[in-house]
Amino acid sequence: MEGKSREQIINDIMDRIISEIEKGKYQESPKLPSEYALADELRVSRFLVRQAYERLQGLGYIYAKQGIGHFVVIKKISIEFPLNSDQGFSSKVEAQGFDVQTRQVSLKVRQAGPFLARTLQLGEEEEVYELKRARIVENVVAAVHTSYLPKQRIPHLEQWGEIRSLFATLKKYELETLVHQGSVLEIALPTPEDVKLFKCPKLIPLIFLKGINGDGRTGLPIEYYEVKYRGDIFKYKL
């Protein structure tokens, strides 16, 4: 690795280990070479190997056991998630053989403000419900779904207790047909709040899906949603 910058060497070490992980080298024995051993093999400083290991740990590829060494994370969950499907989250995931649970994180009332007023066709002073739910797959928080719903169109939402299925709850308001009115897909790193909620490494990318669902009868927007999916668990099918 002569002639390369420190950053290039760190990236080369990371690329090598990621490639070995993806090829299944550590399936039988997940323990990685020690910092000393890998530094000696590659003829680089131990500091650079340590930096590479720390970054791989931040990305969720490996973890450290104090006094023992570094180990490859054995990933058990990989979900293909079709975007162009009318199925709900639970149906899509259960169809692939995974156990799915939904937990309500919070339900609160807030003013719409400029963005939600424009998106949901409301006045800025009108109230909306902010409903946040965690999607738990095989005991791992895999997605967080935040819905914004016009209070005047869906009154007394809190009367139904914990909301796990929004679709089932909306049926109680005779809103049985929802029409998808567009969405945007982005990639972002988790915020400190996301890291706490997902219990994930801080460098795991999140797939950020934003969109609108409308009332099939009137065409009025019923829900603006923001869903964050763990990028190391979900693979999107277009």
pLDDT higher than threshold 70 for residue 238: no
**Domain extent listing, the chain:** 6-72, 79-237
Domain 79-237, CATH homologous superfamily name and number: Chorismate lyase-like (3.40.1410.10)
Local confidence band at 182 (pLDDT 50, 70, 90 cut-offs): confident
What whole-number distance in Å separates Cα of residue 15 and Cα of residue 30? 17
DSSP character for 168? Answer: H
Local confidence band at 154 (pLDDT 50, 70, 90 cut-offs): very high
What whole-number distance in Å separates Cα of residue 173 and Cα of residue 198? 32
Residue 63, token pair as written in the block = 């973890």
| 3-state SS class at 116 | helix
Identify whether the C-beta of residue 177 lies closer than 8 Å to the C-beta of residue 170. no
End-to-end CA, the chain: 40
* pLDDT score for 84: 62
pLDDT higher than threshold 70 for residue 83: no
Which CATH class for the 6-72 domain?
A: mainly alpha
Identify whether the C-beta of residue 25 lies closer than 8 Å to the C-beta of residue 42. no
pTM of the model: 0.76
